[in-house]
Amino acid sequence: MKRILVLCSGNSARSQLAQAYLQHFANTVDDIEQAEVYSAGVKPKGVNPLAIQVLAEDGIDSSHHTSNHADEYVHIPFDFVITVCDNAREQCPFFPSAGELIHHSFPEPSHMEGKDKLTAFREVRDLIKAYSQEFIATRLAVNKPISTP
């Protein structure tokens, strides 16, 4: 089983969305988990309720997620550490056992101009969902069709 850590600045939105979708797509093939997915922040702020809401709209319950500091996970051997914002990449703690460090920046939904916050969260959710499905399909060789909300 692979271990994946998703890092963001506050572990409130983007990393929470990525954790949920990576876990969702990795939990395929007769409901056998292909990966353990964690998320953390360099300055955790708590899980944004809009992140929970837009995941629920897509049938994913993330109400049990917590906002954690990256330092809590330095002892875990990760196969992949994914940073989903530039700030997290720049401030990423050293993970001596990280197999592969990957960076893919997504917009911060709370700061997208010209859009109401719920619309911004939905747009970022959809970007992260597509990325997560592709990541699992290519890195873990697991395929699962995207369901639409």
The angle at the Cα of 89, spanning 86 to 44, to the nearest 5 degrees, equals 85
Which residue of the set 27, 36, 87, 92 is catalytic?
Answer: 92
Are 49 and 117 within 8 A, CB to CB? Answer: no
> Does the annotation count 8 as an active-site position?
yes
Are 5 and 40 within 8 A, CB to CB? Answer: yes
**Would you say the C-alpha torsion 87, 25, 81, 93 has a positive or negative sign?**
positive
Determine how β-strand 80-83 pairs with β-strand 2-8.
parallel
Rounded CA-CA distance 54/79 in Å is 28
> Does the annotation count 13 as an active-site position?
no
Which residue of the set 85, 98, 124, 140 is catalytic?
Answer: 85
> Does the annotation count 85 as an active-site position?
yes
Which residue of the set 5, 6, 8, 13 is catalytic?
Answer: 8
Cite the active site residues. 8, 85, 92
